[in-house]
Amino acid sequence: MSELILVVEDEPSLQETLAYNLEKQGYRVETASDGRTALETARRLKPDLIVLDIMLPALDGIEVCKALRRESFSSPILMLTARDEEIDRVVGLEIGADDYLTKPFSMRELLARIKAQLRRMQVVREELDKIKTASPAQDTLIFGNLSINRTRREVLVDGNVIPLKPQEYELLLFFAEHRGQMLSREFILERVWGWDYIGDSRTVDVHVRWLRQKIESDPANPARIVTVRGGGYRFEG
Ligand code: CA
């Protein structure tokens, strides 16, 4: 199947032009006109690349990009900026964008950048495949019938792959790497979600509940991720 590109642009005529030209190149295209919809669409469809305008209603492109990167969204993000002076902010590592174009830009230039980014991702994937094939058992944490493969980002219980959302995986890995330690909700939130995450410690509770459903043999009486009264959680293994 052809690659899916999410086009986030609030100016209708530009959005339409972008979508039209990308489809003509054989890509599948989804569109969003504001930041919140963009975030929701990206989470749901996991596009292969995002063309992301900075100035957007609801949530600007920089916030969208940062939020996705925090969630381990790894597809390339190409930002559209209106002014040159925004570039320094965009390409900074903390934002997590891969490339940018300053408006106005030519369609040919945009297509070339998109192709380059998709090709780069293809190379990365092939390299990762090579590593996987070369050392399948490497980098695995084992706790009884539970194993976590950090290279593949794969969790198995009794040999069966457990589907985890990216944040659930990050949380479980964080627990596993701090086995036996009491971890406060605030500490977990800061280390797993990032200090600038907009949310509260209930986010941690919700994800712990989901994780327990997936990795505990009796989620109502958890033996792996135990609650520490007045404190937080402790991973027993
Ligand atoms: Ca705009």
pLDDT tens per residue across span 101-132 = 888 899 999 999 999 999 999 888 888 777 66
Residue 42 lies in a domain: yes
Domain that holds residue 73: 4-123
Question: Domain check: are 9 and 96 in the same one?
Answer: yes
Question: Domain check: are 139 and 185 in the same one?
Answer: yes
Mean local confidence (pLDDT), 159-181: 92
d(CA 104, ligand 1 centre) in Å? 12
Q: Which of 104, 123, 142 is the last residue of a domain?
A: 123
CB 233 within 8 A of CB 181: no
Mean local confidence (pLDDT), 64-76: 90
**Is pLDDT of 39 > 90?**
yes
d(CA 60, ligand 1 centre) in Å? 9
Q: Which of 101, 123, 145 is the last residue of a domain?
A: 123
Q: What is the pLDDT of residue 133?
A: 66
Question: Domain check: are 69 and 11 in the same one?
Answer: yes
d(CA 161, ligand 1 centre) in Å? 42
**Is pLDDT of 178 > 80?**
yes
Question: Domain check: are 106 and 214 in the same one?
Answer: no
Task: Report which of residues 45 and 90 the model is more confident about.
Answer: 45
**H/E segment holding residue 103:** none
Look at strands 49-53 and 77-81 and give their pairing: parallel
Mean local confidence (pLDDT), 39-67: 94
Share of the chain above pLDDT 90, in %: 59
**Is pLDDT of 59 > 80?**
yes
Question: Domain check: are 140 and 38 in the same one?
Answer: no
d(CA 182, ligand 1 centre) in Å? 46
Question: Domain check: are 35 and 72 in the same one?
Answer: yes
d(CA 192, ligand 1 centre) in Å? 31
Residue 70 lies in a domain: yes
d(CA 8, ligand 1 centre) in Å? 9
Q: pLDDT band at 208, cuts 50/70/90? A: very high
Domain count, the chain: 2
Question: Domain check: are 12 and 107 in the same one?
Answer: yes
d(CA 9, ligand 1 centre) in Å? 6
Look at strands 28-32 and 49-53 and give their pairing: unpaired
d(CA 231, ligand 1 centre) in Å? 45
Chain-wide mean pLDDT for the chain? 89
CB 215 within 8 A of CB 155: yes
Question: Domain check: are 103 and 141 in the same one?
Answer: no
Share of the chain above pLDDT 70, in %: 91
Q: pLDDT band at 186, cuts 50/70/90? A: confident
| DSSP summary character for residue 139 | T
d(CA 6, ligand 1 centre) in Å? 15
Q: What is the pLDDT of residue 91?
A: 61
Q: What is the pLDDT of residue 156?
A: 94
Q: pLDDT band at 68, cuts 50/70/90? A: very high
In three-state secondary structure terms, 62 is helix
d(CA 184, ligand 1 centre) in Å? 40
In three-state secondary structure terms, 49 is strand
Question: Domain check: are 191 and 226 in the same one?
Answer: yes
* Residues that place a CB less than 5 A from ion ligand 1: 10, 53, 55
Write the CB contacts of 96 (distance below 8 Å, at least 6 apart in sequence). Answer: 65, 66, 68, 69, 77
Residue 68 lies in a domain: yes
d(CA 50, ligand 1 centre) in Å? 15
Question: Domain check: are 152 and 92 in the same one?
Answer: no
Question: Domain check: are 178 and 94 in the same one?
Answer: no
**Is pLDDT of 187 > 70?**
yes
Residue 110 lies in a domain: yes
